[in-house]
Structure 1
Amino acid sequence: MNIIRQKNTENELHNIVHQFTSLIGLSKLTKLVNYRRHSEISLMKVIEWLLTTKFLGRSLYRAHETPNFTSRTVRNNLNDGRINWQRLICQVGSHLIKHLRPFIDRRRRLALIIDDTLFSREYATQTELLARVFDHDKQLYIKGYRALTLGWSDANTFLPINFALMSSKKPQNVLGKSAKTTDQRTIAGRRRRQAQQKMNLVSLQLVKQAYQYSCFVEAHVGNQKFKLRLVFVANRARQDDYLVLATTQLGLQPQEIIQLYARRWQIENYFKVAKQYLRLDKSQVQNYDGLCGHLAIVMMTYDLLAWQERQNQDDRTIGDLFFIMNEAMPDIELSQALVWLLNSLKTIINHEVYARRAQIIQMMNQFFTFLPKRLVSLLTAS
């Protein structure tokens, strides 16, 4: 019975993935990213299989085989240095934004958000351009990369639309193999050169590659001066603490600047989901081009989740959607453990006085409100 339920879940997931790829016209987009087919298998089919694998929580090496192609075919596509993964993500984001625009109020401000996160590769040794990068949370250097990400937001939906997998400009910080190609005429060569540039310069390149909005201006540094507008935001929890916001958009009102800055935190939610659910830094791929392909698949998976969240028009979070689209087996094991816990609490309730009993029941009801609806239905049915 569990096998049948899992099979049905996978079929439903495959249908959702196919609807998403049809919505963005993925079959046409793959023709714009320098993909050269060497077999009858299309890049769209490979990407659909990768998206499904992401939701099933499996690595590339433990994923279910498909009769159409092998995992080796998938690895060869990910490692193909000729595929322009950055352009693919830009195109996917652009098509999703066009789909969302009719549902966005014209008065709503749109924003581009850019930030980086640690892409750790602690056990890698020979990966190309592997570097020592500083982890600001742990305050120490870790082997890996910085995943520089550009996103778009209307305050309701966040979409990653461009990226760069950053190494280090300093030769002493590069631990892995040197770049296997430096030919700037190729996509692979430009990708590796970009990885070793300063992050602020690459940030401007990502914005230029993706979109141009009037709310973003080129910042001049060095001896040249330019005007900024500062906004001081008080910390309600601490009277002596405050946040300073700066912008070159002098015509914006303080409240508008605060609203735009608040949207910047959506990229942190993306990083959390990408690492916690989509295995951003758990890839076993060793090739640098393959890692860029892996990062692109993670972003497309998040795009699918964001599309589903907007499509349903409900209060479910991205994390809830991931669990709903995930395979059934892990949820069932978790529900069984929770049933045991709840039965134990019921036993305790029967031996408690009335006042304590009401308190425990209230705590249990509050606990249920924080669980995904699918899990609650499994628990109440058990």
Structure 2
Amino acid sequence: MPVSKRTRCIASTPNSRRFLLLLSSAVIARMKALTSEDRVDVLIVDDSLYSRNRSKKVELAARVFDHAAHRFVKGFRMLTLGWSDGNSFVPLAFSLLSSEKVENRIQEANPSVDRRTSGYHRRRESMSKATVTLFELLEQAQAMGIQTRVLLFDSWFTFPSTILRAVQHKMTVICMLKALKTLHYLYDGKKVTLPQLYGLLTKRRGRAKILASVVVGIGNDENGKEVQAKIVFVRDRQRSKQWLALLCTDTTMADEEVVRLYGKRWDIEVFFKMVKSHLRLAKELQGRSYDSMIAHTSIVFARYIYLAVKTRNEQDPRTLGRLFLELCDEMSDVRNAEIIHRLLTLLSQAIEQKRRCHHDDLSPFGANH
């Protein structure tokens, strides 16, 4: 029986996300066998700029704000979900986000794409909000057997609605907080902002790295029950008046453990640096179609997974065989001193970006002129 053109179109459309999830889940199962059950592994969500600034006719390209350069560029937001055990990072899934606003999109989606294909669904997904796509990636990873229950993300995703939805997925959220005037927390029967909350707390004396911690209310769940979370304030050793605030939805977790686990989020920053600088993400591709960019990004992520496995095999003696697995100690988890160094690095970068923005605003030759 002859195959119709429409059927061939569906059969030839690759499901790159499923391929990446199958590959990463198999690798994670192998790596989890190398560590004890006490080791806490985490899921990390973050986005990074996928620049196509020199392209004019790339499908679904949009004007995206570059937080490093503080200007809009042409490209996508590469929303990525990854797994880490403190030593190895494995990317699970990603989405190249365009813009939900029509005025921000430079090119629209190809209207001839079959609606039954995975390519069409990826295009629809690219025009959704990042917080909505985040949980679609999470649900698909859980469907592939990824049972990790700790979710890390930075301050760009720290909104009560996002945290409450993650709690509904039975996830323990650990995230950085922004000192926004519009975000309030319920403390002692009053709604206060983050700086106000910090001013109300009694700080630890001496040169303690953790200044204070407190349990607050962040909102109500779907049943109307108040959801509580712990906020941990960390000192900046170089700037005594500066502090960082971390939120954890597990109020029983120790302060030191909250700080230590959040430090694992640095692994995704290393991942972004590696795929852009060394694996030539978005640099070796000249295609204009959205499918080609998805396929190329999946191949780059698969390359990184291969390098992660090779690095683990060379560094972990437990990978040499069952005898070595029984006799050798597992690789050490990330330590508190390293975590503090990572947090201070993030704070220094944030302060430097804020200082540059303030300088640009005061300059007579700023962006507005």
When the two structures are superposed, what TM-score results if normalisation uses the length of structure 2? Answer: 0.61
Between the aligned partners of 1:129 and 1:223, the Cα distance in structure 2 is 36
Match of 1:214 in 2: 149
Secondary structure of the 1:249 match is: coil
1:116 to 6, 29, 47: 47
Go from structure 1 to structure 2 and tell me whether the alpha carbon gap of 1:246 and 1:174 turns closer, same or farther (over 3 Å shift): same
**Structure richer in helix, relative to its length:** 1
Supply the AA of the counterpart residue of 2:305: D
Secondary structure of the 2:227 match is: coil
Match of 1:271 in 2: 272
Q: Which runs of 5+ in 1 are unaligned?
A: 1-37, 39-75, 315-382
Deviation at 1:81, TM superposition (A): 7.2
Supply the AA of the counterpart residue of 1:228: A
Supply the AA of the counterpart residue of 1:214: R
Deviation at 1:214, TM superposition (A): 3.1
**Structure richer in strand, relative to its length:** 2
Deviation at 1:256, TM superposition (A): 1.5
Go from structure 1 to structure 2 and tell me whether the alpha carbon gap of 1:201 and 1:177 turns closer, same or farther (over 3 Å shift): closer
Deviation at 1:178, TM superposition (A): 3.0
Go from structure 1 to structure 2 and tell me whether the alpha carbon gap of 1:223 and 1:111 turns closer, same or farther (over 3 Å shift): closer
Between the aligned partners of 2:47 and 2:291, the Cα distance in structure 1 is 19
Deviation at 1:273, TM superposition (A): 0.4
Match of 2:131 in 1: 200
Between the aligned partners of 1:81 and 1:291, the Cα distance in structure 2 is 16
Between the aligned partners of 2:36 and 2:274, the Cα distance in structure 1 is 27
Q: Does 1:155 align with 2:86?
A: yes
Between the aligned partners of 2:243 and 2:128, the Cα distance in structure 1 is 33
Between the aligned partners of 2:87 and 2:150, the Cα distance in structure 1 is 19
Deviation at 1:292, TM superposition (A): 0.3
Deviation at 1:180, TM superposition (A): 2.8
Go from structure 1 to structure 2 and tell me whether the alpha carbon gap of 1:190 and 1:181 turns closer, same or farther (over 3 Å shift): farther
Supply the AA of the counterpart residue of 1:311: N
Deviation at 1:219, TM superposition (A): 3.1
Deviation at 1:251, TM superposition (A): 2.3
Deviation at 1:166, TM superposition (A): 0.6
Between the aligned partners of 1:310 and 1:88, the Cα distance in structure 2 is 22
Match of 2:364 in 1: none
Is the CA contact (8 Å cut-off) linking 2:51 and 2:76 kept in structure 1?
Answer: yes
Is the CA contact (8 Å cut-off) linking 2:236 and 2:242 kept in structure 1?
Answer: yes
Q: Does 1:90 align with 2:21?
A: yes
Deviation at 1:188, TM superposition (A): 1.4
Is the CA contact (8 Å cut-off) linking 2:99 and 2:105 kept in structure 1?
Answer: yes
1:140 to 58, 71, 85: 71
Match of 1:237 in 2: 238
Q: How many residues align?
A: 241
When the two structures are superposed, what TM-score results if normalisation uses the length of structure 1? Answer: 0.59
Q: Does 1:260 align with 2:257?
A: no
Between the aligned partners of 1:131 and 1:219, the Cα distance in structure 2 is 27
Deviation at 1:113, TM superposition (A): 0.2
Between the aligned partners of 1:148 and 1:139, the Cα distance in structure 2 is 19
Supply the AA of the counterpart residue of 2:303: T
Rg (Cα) greater in structure: 1
Go from structure 1 to structure 2 and tell me whether the alpha carbon gap of 1:125 and 1:219 turns closer, same or farther (over 3 Å shift): same
Go from structure 1 to structure 2 and tell me whether the alpha carbon gap of 1:298 and 1:98 turns closer, same or farther (over 3 Å shift): same
Secondary structure of the 2:46 match is: strand
Is the CA contact (8 Å cut-off) linking 1:81 and 1:188 kept in structure 2?
Answer: no
Between the aligned partners of 2:12 and 2:245, the Cα distance in structure 1 is 42
Secondary structure of the 1:252 match is: coil
Is the CA contact (8 Å cut-off) linking 1:157 and 1:306 kept in structure 2?
Answer: yes
Q: Which runs of 5+ in 2 are unaligned?
A: 1-7, 153-161, 166-217, 221-225, 317-369
Q: Does 1:310 align with 2:347?
A: no
Q: Deviations over 1:291-345 (max 9, x none)?
A: 000110110010011111100017xxxxxxxxxxxxxxxxxxxxxxxxxxxxxxx
**More relative contact order in 1 or in 2 (CA 8 Å, sep 6+)?**
1
Is the CA contact (8 Å cut-off) linking 1:232 and 1:242 kept in structure 2?
Answer: yes
